[in-house]
Structure 1
Amino acid sequence: MASNKGLCLGYNGIHPFAKVDIKDRASVQELLRTLLDPLEPFFSPQKARVKCPGATAVRFDQTASEVEGICRPLWGLAALLAGGGEYQGKEWWFEGIKSGTDPENPEYWGYPRDNDQRMVEMCPLGWALAVVPEIWTSMSDKEKENIENWLGNSINEKNMPNTNWLWFRIFANLGLKKNGGKFSQERLDSDIAHLDTFYRGGGWSNDGPEGIHQMDYYSSSFAIQLLQLLYANLAGEEDPKRAEEFKKRAQMVALDLIHYFDDEGRAIPYGRSVGYRFAMVSFWGALAHADVELPAPLTWGMVKGVVLRHLRWWQTQHEMWTSSGTLSIGYSYPNMYMAENYNSPGSPYWACLAFMCLAVPADHPFWTSEEELASSVIPRVKALNQPGHIMSYLGGHCMLLSSGQACSYPMKGTHAKYGGFAYSSAYGYSVPPGLFSLEQYALASQLGLSDDGGEYWKTRRLCEYAGIEDRESTPVLVSVWKPFPDVKIRTILIPPEESTPNWHLRVHYIDSGREVMTADGSFAICNVNATNGRYLDPYDEEKHEGTSPKIIGNYDLNTPDGWASGKMGAFAVSKGAVGIKALESKEGRQAMLVNADPNSNLVES
């Protein structure tokens, strides 16, 4: 464990997280400890709160932000302890739980109100109580009464969002139930029954009721699938029918979710809250924790490989830390443009869900199997009807084509997080750091339309229709959408084929009674050359690096060298290769490289 002086990452400093040789259960345990250690200096005197560095505001109160800071790491700590591992600093969390739930303590967490962020943090706390009995048994009768009042009784009488949040109340009650505390079986049963109405088929649940199509990582690793599996593990004996149903759903959805991870360990960033980073892989650890029988052709070696390769990839993302060694708000680097209004400095520790695998016994085949790749036994292209995705593992990366999903409430960059045409494990998506010109809109894999000469742009957010259709035995995505009330677009997305693995096709039929400008974007790519770290030069065939046409600054857009015909297209080669070209018969469309504003992309700053 680190000293109370904490960690300081100076010039070119490497986080201890990156130095762990991930190969077995013990190494993953050590990896978790490197996440927990840097939190030590940020505990409050009574240990009830963790104030992660950052000082940025959030939509809820500061106390709730600091409750996030102590509760979210419990996902990892509880898994470690439940699996027989040890952590020298566990007493800090034990003490903090007692202090935070004591209304007489100056660091009391506060009695939750309706739709309170504290409700979210009750989920990791409830699960920790259920799987680590030592927390409960270390309490006095008065301390147990305090946690009953704060954890169970408070949440049972409050309104909650009609979303995955209802699972958090279930686990608050389960944590108390498992320890003989006061809980509400009526609430537990009614919430489970209501959450079942979110189920759509094929293993997939929507994150909300009818009228909403939102199946992002909350439908899998961040919440719904994950928590269904944890429920099956905890309540399987007394609720065997539902536990078995949840396991069947997991078997079905596993054959879909395997397509979201590539052989390098990268996941496809899609939707909101991707700042929870490696939590994206937690479904696979929960699958083992619930001891689900894997559907063919998946093996435990493949599941283990997905988890460990994913963690290894995050070890290469050296800029995701604050200088104090805590997780930053962002993805591959600190980034507030992509952050949600509910992301506090403590929020990223939802990532500790990735360590669910540590609750899995050492003799489980998850740990005893040798790592394998799944890419050789799963379809290279697969249509997923429920989320409205067509998955592809051609061209050296995992990619999905998407139509139809949208967030049900206002969210920064929501059109980029859900409305894009294509999302990639290699390139990430881009969010707009501003709202003036293409450089600020950063329309990666989006079609933008402007009716004011290119100052402001509208993209796809909501669809009037979206569906997967069959065209000559090939699945295609069709959507109808309106960027303006009097402009209607029908878009068809066609996945790559073995003969053209690096290309997908987009067909747009635009019905407009007036002139509008259009701009269709490829993936974003790093604008840095390998020789000296300067911006990319024109393409060099010997170096296999550069751009065509020449990339020009935002102040030189009229430079002829910066433009090519649409039929010639534009491309860039640095960390990978991206390109786009027009296939329509009429002339007039032009191609260029957009020098998007800094910090618009999740992966490359």
Structure 2
Amino acid sequence: MTVPFELPEENRELSPYTGYTRAHWEAVADGLLEAAWRWATPEGALLDLPGRPSVSGVRSDGLEGYARTFLAAGFRIAGSGGKDPGGLLDRYARGLAAGTRTPGRDDTESWPLILDHHVQGQPMVESASVALGLMLTRPWLWDRLDGDVQDRAEQWLRGALTHVPAPNNWYLFPFMVASFLESVGRGDHSTRGARARALELLETWYRGDGWYADGDGRAFDHYNGWALHLYPLLHAQLTGDAELSARFGPRLRQHLEGFSLMFGADGAPVHFGRSLTYRFAASAALGIGAVTGHTPLTPGASRRVASGALRYFLDRGAVTGDGLLSLGWHGPHAATLQRYSGPASPYWASKGFVALLAPEDDPLWTAPEEPAPSEGPDRVLALPAPGLLIQSTGADGIVRLHNHGSDHVRPHEGETADLADALYGRSAYSTHTGPTSPANVPDNHLAVEVGGAASVRCRIRALGAGQGEGWGWAASWHRPVFAPGPPMVPGLRVQSVTVALGRFELRVHRVVGAPAGARISQTGWATRAHGSQLAGLSGWTGSDEVRAPQGTAYEPWVRIPRLTADAEGTVLLTALACLGTAPSTPPLAAAVRDVTVSDGDREVTVTWSDGARTVVGFEPVRVTHEGT
């Protein structure tokens, strides 16, 4: 598909993989900003983009339009040394003056007040983008404002310092507000307190392997890159805070060791977690890594992955004919959205433009593109801290993420079926497929069916992860939760292990405490074509294929392979799955020579067709692999 604004000619000599250069990034930023500003209020305080309102209401949505596009403008202008070909700074200055004149008033221009997250929370999110935009453009915007406009802007921003954020990455919003106010000589005990509190929480949320939990639970997702790593390092970069750079930089470097592998050869990020309508914001961690030097990637590889993500979405209809980013993934897609998603929400994609802070003569833009991590040999990477297993195959460039540690259940919450989240609860995600909707059969899911009700997976307890040469594993357990009916069956639990080897996924489940009459099902990848295979190796007695008519973010209609078995007490079930694009992929059964279950349904040994052996045991979990 083509975008409704002009892009430069491709440069395949400098960028042999994507054709994109820095000029393409600038052109995309300019085109998106110009299109969005067509929907501004007369004085420019609100950008009321067309579409269904979020739960926060149209006024908050209009502020979101101003703030998130200001973020893109800030990166664009700061990275160009103040050059402003679209005359954006005057527009944002007028909008700031109008929006802060009478905050909270129900008129054409006034911004909503910043209140507690559970009362009127969204403006606190947007305050960080306003503050960061002002910080980035300070010499050309803030320093030229009248003193009374500066005072009004400070007063509005301070609402973020005096109200309660949501208990997660939101604490970084007052952190950025404080960072800006201190940078312009308006700091005090409130700004110092906001920064100290955010940094204190980040330490408690850091779990290792370069990953933060998004709050006190175990939500590991794209918020790591576009929030939890991005804001502290932006603060350090813009303020010259060497101590924070030294603390957070190595964590980002370690994060990128694994996260950079989570982009397919076609540029797609792994479709996993909430807020996916932010799209190429997923490249923000790569961008800030390149800008600050805290990255394991070469400049050419960093640009290849980031430009690949940008082009991936532009080529697949993310931008409408009006030049606006749609609410969805490729194009509009309702199942991708959350209640807080409004017409301007996709403009958090602006965070991807952080790469523009690298000047035009930086190696990020001048070095030839190099292959993305997923374009080399087959790779398997275990991340024990978040309980994730990344698997990529160079032949097709598909990346799979096996989830044995990330959920969306907060520590104080119980386990009920209404907490099930398709964006976290499935056992695997990829750059080629998305989860099916809750109204359809779930993909990549083991369900225990009791009394006609199928279970969901809510809280995930990680049991470990590890790897050897060319292979890796991750394990977890969960309590099956049912709806309708009681929340769980006493004593029932599911222990799960995934072993990734080349293109294969060995999926082993040990179901303990299944009541009489229980039935178990295991599904595979959701695709329209026959690129998804699932074969029962032990314990399974039936197989079929089911349909998900609502489709996924990738396809409007999909099929899912499924295995079934009756169960009572303790059963051990082994299956082999594969996701690929080759139409002539050999049947999975040919990959395995023998399967043996032993130790009272606590251990399974899989002998592969080439003579290699994989052993998976339970209580405790143990995984070994010997051979090629």
Q: TM-score, normalised by structure 1?
A: 0.80
Deviations 1:348-385 (A, max 9, x none): 11011111111111121111111001436687111011
Q: Judging changes above 3 Å, is the alpha-carbon distance between structure 1 residues 214 and 585 closer, same or farther for their aligned structure 2 residues? A: closer
Match of 1:540 in 2: none
Q: Judging changes above 3 Å, is the alpha-carbon distance between structure 1 residues 589 and 19 closer, same or farther for their aligned structure 2 residues? A: farther
Counterpart of 1:61 (choices 57, 63, 72) is 57
Instruction: For residue 445 of structure 1, report the CA deviation from its aligned partner.
Output: 1.1
Matches within 5 A, 1:179-190: 179-182=184-187, 184-190=191-197
Contact 2:301 2:371 in 1 (8 A): yes
Q: Judging changes above 3 Å, is the alpha-carbon distance between structure 1 residues 20 and 110 closer, same or farther for their aligned structure 2 residues? A: farther
Q: Does 1:175 align with 2:176?
A: no
Match of 2:33 in 1: 36
Match of 1:224 in 2: 228
Instruction: For residue 465 of structure 1, report the CA deviation from its aligned partner.
Output: 4.8
**How far apart in 2 are the matches of 1:371 and 1:469?**
31
**How far apart in 2 are the matches of 1:59 and 1:378?**
45
Q: Does 1:589 align with 2:542?
A: yes
Match of 2:479 in 1: 482
**How far apart in 2 are the matches of 1:155 and 1:323?**
36
Instruction: For residue 80 of structure 1, report the CA deviation from its aligned partner.
Output: 0.5
Contact 1:413 1:431 in 2 (8 A): no
Match of 1:93 in 2: 92
**How far apart in 1 are the matches of 2:335 and 2:60?**
22
Moved more, 194-203 or 15-24: 15-24
Opposite residue 5 of structure 2, the aligned amino acid is P
**How far apart in 2 are the matches of 1:328 and 1:374?**
27
Contact 1:18 1:315 in 2 (8 A): no
Instruction: For residue 14 of structure 1, report the CA deviation from its aligned partner.
Output: 5.0
**How far apart in 2 are the matches of 1:322 and 1:402?**
33
**How far apart in 1 are the matches of 2:238 and 2:2?**
42
Unaligned runs of 5+ in 2: 11-18, 482-487, 557-628
Q: Judging changes above 3 Å, is the alpha-carbon distance between structure 1 residues 325 and 169 closer, same or farther for their aligned structure 2 residues? A: same
Unaligned runs of 5+ in 1: 1-11, 435-439, 527-571
Deviations 1:169-205 (A, max 9, x none): 1111222222233552333233323322222223222
SS at match of 1:391: strand
**How far apart in 1 are the matches of 2:469 and 2:184?**
58
Counterpart of 1:245 (choices 235, 244, 247) is 247
Contact 2:327 2:337 in 1 (8 A): yes
SS at match of 1:458: strand
Instruction: For residue 214 of structure 1, report the CA deviation from its aligned partner.
Output: 1.2
Opposite residue 352 of structure 1, the aligned amino acid is S
The alignment's C-alpha RMSD in Å is 2.5
Counterpart of 2:5 (choices 6, 9, 16) is 16
Counterpart of 1:334 (choices 324, 332, 335) is 332
**How far apart in 2 are the matches of 1:289 and 1:386?**
26
Counterpart of 2:355 (choices 354, 357, 372) is 357
Matches within 5 A, 1:293-442: 294-295=295-296, 298-318=297-317, 320-375=318-373, 380-394=379-393, 396=396, 397-408=398-409, 414-432=420-438, 434=439, 440=440, 442=441
**How far apart in 1 are the matches of 2:384 and 2:543?**
35
Counterpart of 1:142 (choices 143, 148, 157) is 148
Match of 1:4 in 2: none
Instruction: For residue 399 of structure 1, report the CA deviation from its aligned partner.
Output: 0.8
Opposite residue 155 of structure 2, the aligned amino acid is N
Deviations 1:59-113 (A, max 9, x none): 3232111111111112211000001143414022221122111117842112211
**How far apart in 2 are the matches of 1:359 and 1:464?**
40
Match of 1:288 in 2: 290
Opposite residue 61 of structure 2, the aligned amino acid is S
**How far apart in 2 are the matches of 1:126 and 1:362?**
25
Deviations 1:466-512 (A, max 9, x none): 432579995322222121422634343333323xx2x2121122231
Instruction: For residue 234 of structure 1, report the CA deviation from its aligned partner.
Output: 1.7
Opposite residue 333 of structure 2, the aligned amino acid is N
Counterpart of 1:199 (choices 198, 201, 206) is 206
**How far apart in 2 are the matches of 1:604 and 1:412?**
26
Q: Does 1:579 align with 2:533?
A: yes
Q: Which has the higher strand share?
A: 2
Counterpart of 1:602 (choices 553, 563, 584) is 553
Question: What is the number of residues matched between the two proteins?
Answer: 520
Q: Does 1:81 align with 2:88?
A: no
Matches within 5 A, 1:253-292: 253-292=255-294
Deviations 1:113-147 (A, max 9, x none): 11221111111111111111122123111101100
Instruction: For residue 329 of structure 1, report the CA deviation from its aligned partner.
Output: 1.5
Contact 1:332 1:604 in 2 (8 A): no
Deviations 1:150-178 (A, max 9, x none): 01x22211111221111111111222222
Q: Percent of aligned pairs with the same residue? A: 25
Contact 1:213 1:406 in 2 (8 A): yes
**How far apart in 2 are the matches of 1:471 and 1:363?**
40
Instruction: For residue 458 of structure 1, report the CA deviation from its aligned partner.
Output: 2.3
**How far apart in 1 are the matches of 2:193 and 2:509?**
51
Q: Judging changes above 3 Å, is the alpha-carbon distance between structure 1 residues 426 and 284 closer, same or farther for their aligned structure 2 residues? A: same
SS at match of 2:480: strand
SS at match of 1:513: strand
Opposite residue 144 of structure 2, the aligned amino acid is S
**How far apart in 2 are the matches of 1:388 and 1:213?**
9
Q: Judging changes above 3 Å, is the alpha-carbon distance between structure 1 residues 60 and 465 closer, same or farther for their aligned structure 2 residues? A: same
Opposite residue 446 of structure 1, the aligned amino acid is H
Q: Judging changes above 3 Å, is the alpha-carbon distance between structure 1 residues 155 and 604 closer, same or farther for their aligned structure 2 residues? A: same
Contact 1:399 1:425 in 2 (8 A): yes
Match of 2:443 in 1: 444
Q: Judging changes above 3 Å, is the alpha-carbon distance between structure 1 residues 159 and 597 closer, same or farther for their aligned structure 2 residues? A: same
Contact 2:384 2:466 in 1 (8 A): no
Instruction: For residue 582 of structure 1, report the CA deviation from its aligned partner.
Output: 1.3
Q: Does 1:525 align with 2:476?
A: no
Counterpart of 1:233 (choices 229, 237, 251) is 237
**How far apart in 1 are the matches of 2:161 and 2:469?**
53
Contact 2:477 2:496 in 1 (8 A): no
Matches within 5 A, 1:480-559: 480-484=477-481, 485-486=488-489, 488-498=492-502, 501=503, 503-511=504-512, 512-526=514-528
SS at match of 1:504: strand
Moved more, 125-134 or 577-586: 577-586
Opposite residue 416 of structure 1, the aligned amino acid is A
Q: TM-score, normalised by structure 2?
A: 0.78
Instruction: For residue 271 of structure 1, report the CA deviation from its aligned partner.
Output: 0.8
Contact 2:420 2:456 in 1 (8 A): no
Opposite residue 79 of structure 1, the aligned amino acid is F
Moved more, 363-372 or 332-341: 332-341
Moved more, 103-112 or 242-251: 103-112
SS at match of 1:518: strand
